Amino acid sequence: PAAATTPGSKRVIVQLFEWNWKSVASECTATLGPKGYGFVQVSPPQEHVKGNPWWVAYQPVSYRIESRKGTRAEFQAMVNTCHNAGVKVLVDTVVNHMSGQDNGGTGWAGTTYGHYSYPGTYGSQDFHHCGRNGNDDIVNYGDRYEVQNCELVNLADLATETDYVRTRLATYMNDLLSLGVDGFRLDASKHMPAADIAAIKGKLSRSAYLVQEVIYGAGEPIQPTEYTGNGDVHEFRYGKDLARMFNSERLAYLKNFGEAWGYLSSSKAVVFTDNHDTQRDGGVLTYRDRGEYALANAFMLAWPYGTPAVMSSFTFSNKDQGPPSDANNKTLNTTCYSGWECEHRWRVIANMVGFNNATQGAAVANWYDNGYQHIAFSRAGKGYLTINDEDFAITGRSYYTGLPAGRYCDVIHGDWSNGSCSGPVITVDSAGWFAANINAHDAVAIHIGAKL
Ligand code: LAG
Ligand code: CA
292 is catalytic: no
State in Å: Cα 100 to ligand 1 middle.
8
Residue 213 near ligand 1, beta carbon < 6 Å: yes
Does the beta carbon of 427 sit less than 6 angstroms from any atom of ligand 1?
no
Residue nearest to atom 28 of ligand 1 (CA): 153
Inter-CA distances, 17 with 95, 273, 341, Å: 18, 14, 11
Distance 60 CA to ligand 1 centre (A): 11
**pLDDT score recorded for residue 32:** 98
pLDDT tens, the chain, 452 aa long: 233 344 457 999 999 999 999 999 999 999 999 999 999 999 999 999 999 999 999 999 999 999 999 999 999 999 999 999 999 999 999 999 999 998 999 999 999 999 999 999 999 999 999 999 999 999 999 999 999 999 999 999 999 999 999 999 999 999 999 999 999 999 999 999 999 999 999 999 999 999 999 999 999 999 999 999 999 999 999 999 999 999 999 999 999 999 999 999 999 999 999 999 999 999 999 999 999 999 999 999 999 999 999 999 999 999 999 999 999 999 999 999 999 999 999 999 999 999 999 999 999 999 999 999 999 999 999 999 999 999 999 999 999 999 999 999 999 999 999 999 999 999 999 999 999 999 999 999 999 999 99
Pick the ligand that lies closest to the CA of residue 151: 2
Helices (H), 134-211: 144-149, 163-178, 194-201
Are the beta carbons of 97 and 152 closer than 8 angstroms? yes
Ligand 1 site, residue 59, Cβ cutoff 6 A: yes
Ligand 2 centre and the CA of 96: distance in Å? Answer: 5
Give the CA count within 13 Å in the CB-facing half-sphere of 203: 18
Q: What is the pLDDT of residue 4?
A: 39
Length of the chain: 452
For residue 118, what pLDDT is reported? 98
152 CB within 6 A, ligand 1: yes
Compute the distance from residue 169 Cα to the ligand 2 centre, in Å. Answer: 13
Mutate to test the pocket of ligand 1, among 41, 46, 58, 213 (most ligand atoms within 8 A of CB): 58
Nearest ligand, CA of residue 144? 2
Q: What is the ipTM of this complex?
A: 0.96
Nearest-atom index, ligand 1, CA of 153: 33
Give me ligand 2 centre to Cα 66, in Å.
24
Catalytic, 226? Answer no
Question: 158 with 98: CB under 8 angstroms?
Answer: yes
Which residues have a Cβ under 8 Å from the Cβ of 87 and sit 6 or more positions away?
28, 32, 33, 37, 38, 39, 40
Q: How far is the CA of 319 from the centre of ligand 1 (A)?
A: 11
**Catalytic residue of the set 66, 126, 187, 235:** 187
Phi first, then psi: what are they for 149, rounded to 5°? -120, -10
Ligand 1 mutation pick, 155, 191, 192, 236, max ligand atoms within 8 A of CB: 155
Q: Is any ligand 1 atom within 6 A of the Cβ of residue 319? A: no
What pLDDT, on the 0 to 100 scale, is given for residue 8? 52
User: For residue 83, with 0-12 CB atoms within 10 Å meaning exposed, 13-18 middle and 19 or more buried, which class applies?
Assistant: middle
Q: What angle do helix axes 237-247 and 290-302 make, rounded to 10 degrees? A: 130
Q: How many whole angstroms separate alpha carbon 406 and alpha carbon 418?
A: 17
- Which ligand has the minimum distance to the alpha carbon of residue 115? 1
d(CA 254, CA 146): 36
Is the Cβ atom of 373 under 6 angstroms away from ligand 1?
no
**Claim: this prediction has a pTM higher than 0.90:** yes
Q: Is 151 in the pocket of ligand 1 (CB under 6 A)?
A: no
Please tell me the distance between residue 154's alpha carbon and the centre of ligand 1 in angstroms. 9
Which member of 213, 226, 232, 442 is catalytic? 213
Residue minimizing CA distance to atom 7 of ligand 1: 277
Is the CB of 212 within 6 Å of ligand 1? Answer: no
pLDDT the model gives residue 1: 29
Which ligand lies nearest to the CA atom of residue 319 in the structure?
1
